[in-house]
Structure 1
């Protein structure tokens, strides 16, 4: 059986072959092994002994530790010994702040400022999210939270409620957990955030098969989390929430839902946490004649697993992440492929020769205590706040460059070099795939490994404009050419829906859609004045735009929500609501900082980050550490408790 953090260092029979352990340790990053050894032994001096012997070399986007053979062998010997030796009575805990501060730079390959230590301890899974407010009061009996959606956000909220012994229920429209990863099944669908990081900090998976796994593997992870924590018994599957109406007399939300058999139901909750995401409703392009096509038309969001593209003449409309993954997956099957792009994206090359996680890393990740935690942190650190300068706008630089800053220009040059290597500098294809805006103006796309190469294949054409119209035989291009087709794939994304499909009415019947109009906005925790006891997980400006992943924003928000609920308990309040003043000041601060980012200086980029009203509504403009710090506990002066 694998060693766990609880059993590490315990005397007893070896749980695995020592020879196999040594063989795998010899291949591991020595910087990570120093951190593991220090935590296994609880001896901070380990860092002092080994740190001078560890250097780091670029292994983009991370830093890889290297050392001499003698030091590497010594590390292996000492880890084997530590695993077979009881911990000393004076050993410091693995999450000791001083110990962590001494080993983190050795493992991560660079300076780690004090402001980051708490965040890294939490995101590394070394300790759970730490409560800030005293837990000296409890919410009243019968206090109930309803979570809408069972994707990663809903799962995270449910686990937090369970930890706090708060009664909760999840309402999920599908018949399984997973959200997007359950419903979206097009060929090639995959995670474009590193798998080592894109998970819950409380449930780290050390056995990912790929650095960027396919959707089915990530869905299996979410199912396993739900099953291990018995979330299904708290979930109403196949149930759609139609309306949320605040009932002032009851001080509760009235929830109108429709079950799988069409039966309508009304229930109540003290708190609601909408966690259904904002990219759920597929967007079909307004193309004349779309319904007349005699072949197969399919949207990527509603993929038919029985569809066989072998030998077919296929067109794909779209050039975003979904289209990239589909093209990469199906190019070898089709007889001919035409890619219609409205606008090119910046595409980053795959950094590794293969996305397969090495066997030694998977072996250690499931057996060696703390190893998977550090691999997760290295993955996070490589593209976290170290990447923040890339999104900042330098007016002097931007006046003379396509990029918006020197840091942004480094990424631009990397992407341009990739274009030139694949298509040839100045070629027609190179011109077609080169954007006219700075990187990060719209979401950067990672090439799964074969997208650009696919565009250069003989049986693939790239149309740099949208189709003019569709007819029975296929597509007519903007310049009047007829392309006969068997299949048209619409990889045209989703409508940006911030709960617009749910009838949400707060105090005095105030509608959330009226409050937001075409510029959704929210305070911390997804709070909006006039909508008490509602925490919108899929709130505006809650997605990291320069690093980390969706899971980071979710965990930070859920921590904040739990602190707000604890504040209610301490003040014996039945409702909590952000004040109008705090709401407006918070939104103004976001917009002011956003004005200094790439998103507000690339107007030609067609991006879902920008609402119909022109406001950047998905990303936040803060460093990750600032965002994390500001969500540690609520500012009571910003809230109205009744």
Structure 2
């Protein structure tokens, strides 16, 4: 007996693992493997779902579960049955399977996106492929993190010559350089990955940074991306050559040696939070102890027995506090403004062994777990960020859906700190959930704040002196170590000198108000695509991997449009660009980010315009980027 990968299976082991699995997922897998939709009628009515479970788990009676398992064992272990299975991306079958797997019935508009995000099929081409991509259409990818890896995989599949320019000495991006205590992913691991590169071996539903870094390295190695990567190479400038229709890319090696490389197309695969940001507090350099920013952590730093101050109260601070609280002698948290903190829904984030085993051995099992994780954190959450004016006029929350989250967070505060306590008041925000990025408690953050050796100060430091931190009230908090969990400067390519047509600088085009058309394109900057563009962050749910995959598909479609028209460069018209930005701003007015001006957030620029979050549902963004609208572009 063997599974689809030719691996020998012990039927007793298979049965034992299947009996611990979600019967709804097993049923849809059974239908896919056998092509027998009759199993849906035989067993489907007996399956219900637990609404409050993290995975909307399917449940059924023991007899039905056993019958599904028996049939599935035959499907997995019988010769030829898997080879004869219905195509996993069959739309008609998929439409029948989704409600059973999820426990809800998404509209038909979501099904193509779910097929793709579940890894059942790759993004479908839309632009005709009657003309081959020319050899002159080579690609430079700036950055070797998740976005750069995704772009490189797509380029290789299209037969496009590419090079990755990475300033670090390895791939991994954020997950290579972020190594502070407790650093981890706050998007479900079964979803926070590339849809074409599912990982059956996640050990945690929310893995630590090292595990995610290892995933990215493994993907890069499978696709030979290192062979196309120049490590230790910082891109300092991009200059468009109007005569050659190519970008001159000015780089500097880690030893300081400058050079220039060239490409017809540049994809910037850089995040916008890279430079550590310190508070403008007086005397910071005078501190006699150890100072460290979360983004520049020293892995040799031992906090055991130390008096530690953590400045900041965002996701990073929560992970650090959770991780170090048992080691330090005393911890003081300086909190400028509290965040809403959602409780962990499981006793443990460890992925059960049976899930990992089934991911490896049962076809499509991992795909369906991904679909469930995606749907649970994607557009099903969209109503939480949309304002109901009537509701918002009389509530702190902005809508009934938003209030459900608020009440969940308030209940967590009351359970942990005691309703009406001083500490509960300190950690309770005065704005609606999602007004600033919500935090998922890694498990011990709120409990840590209740410990006798932990103080929570609702203030920023007034000044720093050699002995420690002085509060606005004049009190001295003596510490040995100051941890700055104060975030990063918001850099939409502002650290790079980018000169487009006629030498115009991108920083001048944006002038503190970064904007972009679809695909992260900007008029006057031909063949430049920004994967982490303004207003592309799916801030109501999912993860940036969604926006990356959407952008990469769109870039490929644009390149085929160039080939079909025999053109060498492409850029959006000023009219299309302005209209698209106006649509974003109009839609944004109805969101929580515009309704909660008191929430301190990097999502807004100095003028109050929201420049990070996307105001739309994911499915709307997905549909917008299926194919370029030719009349919205200038092709030369």
What TM-score results when the alignment is normalised by the length of structure 1?
Answer: 0.97
Equivalent residues in 2 for 1:439-450 (5 A)?
439-450=433-444
CA distance in 2, matches of 1:184, 1:89: 43
Partner of 2:67: 74
Q: Deviations over 1:280-323 (max 9, x none)?
A: 00001111111011100000001011100000000000000000
Structure 1: state its 5+ residue gaps: 8-13
Q: CA deviation at 1:396?
A: 1.1
Partner of 2:276: 282
Residue aligned with 1:169, SS: strand
Q: Deviations over 1:348-390 (max 9, x none)?
A: 0000011111111111111111000001111111121111100
CA distance in 1, matches of 2:618, 2:530: 20
Partner of 1:474: 468
Partner of 1:33: 26
Aligned equivalent of 1:226, options 209, 220, 223: 220
CA distance in 2, matches of 1:134, 1:71: 48
From the superposition, tell whether residues 609 and 3 of structure 1 become closer, same or farther in structure 2 (CA, over 3 Å): farther
Q: CA deviation at 1:276?
A: 1.1
The answer to whether structure 1 residue 239 and structure 2 residue 233 are counterparts is yes
The answer to whether structure 1 residue 584 and structure 2 residue 578 are counterparts is yes
Aligned equivalent of 2:552, options 546, 555, 558: 558
The answer to whether structure 1 residue 62 and structure 2 residue 93 are counterparts is no
CA distance in 2, matches of 1:111, 1:341: 42
- The question of whether the paired residues in 2 share the 8 Å contact of 1:280 and 1:497 is answered with yes
CA distance in 2, matches of 1:393, 1:519: 24
From the superposition, tell whether residues 38 and 578 of structure 1 become closer, same or farther in structure 2 (CA, over 3 Å): same
Partner of 1:597: 591
Partner of 1:493: 487
State the superposition RMSD in angstroms: 1.3
Q: CA deviation at 1:133?
A: 1.4
Aligned equivalent of 2:528, options 513, 527, 534: 534
Partner of 1:640: 634
Aligned equivalent of 1:438, options 426, 432, 441: 432
The answer to whether structure 1 residue 174 and structure 2 residue 168 are counterparts is yes
CA distance in 1, matches of 2:480, 2:564: 64
Q: CA deviation at 1:184?
A: 0.6
The answer to whether structure 1 residue 83 and structure 2 residue 76 are counterparts is yes
Equivalent residues in 2 for 1:160-199 (5 A)?
160-199=154-193
Residue aligned with 1:401, SS: coil
Q: CA deviation at 1:397?
A: 0.9
Equivalent residues in 2 for 1:514-529 (5 A)?
514-529=508-523
- The question of whether the paired residues in 2 share the 8 Å contact of 1:101 and 1:112 is answered with no
Partner of 1:297: 291
- The question of whether the paired residues in 2 share the 8 Å contact of 1:346 and 1:439 is answered with yes
Q: Deviations over 1:231-289 (max 9, x none)?
A: 00100000000000111011111100001221111111100001111000000111111
Equivalent residues in 2 for 1:247-286 (5 A)?
247-286=241-280
CA distance in 2, matches of 1:305, 1:371: 38
Aligned equivalent of 1:393, options 387, 390, 397: 387
CA distance in 2, matches of 1:79, 1:364: 12
The answer to whether structure 1 residue 320 and structure 2 residue 309 are counterparts is no
Q: CA deviation at 1:89?
A: 8.9
Aligned equivalent of 1:100, options 94, 114, 129: 94
CA distance in 2, matches of 1:514, 1:604: 29
Residue aligned with 2:528, SS: coil
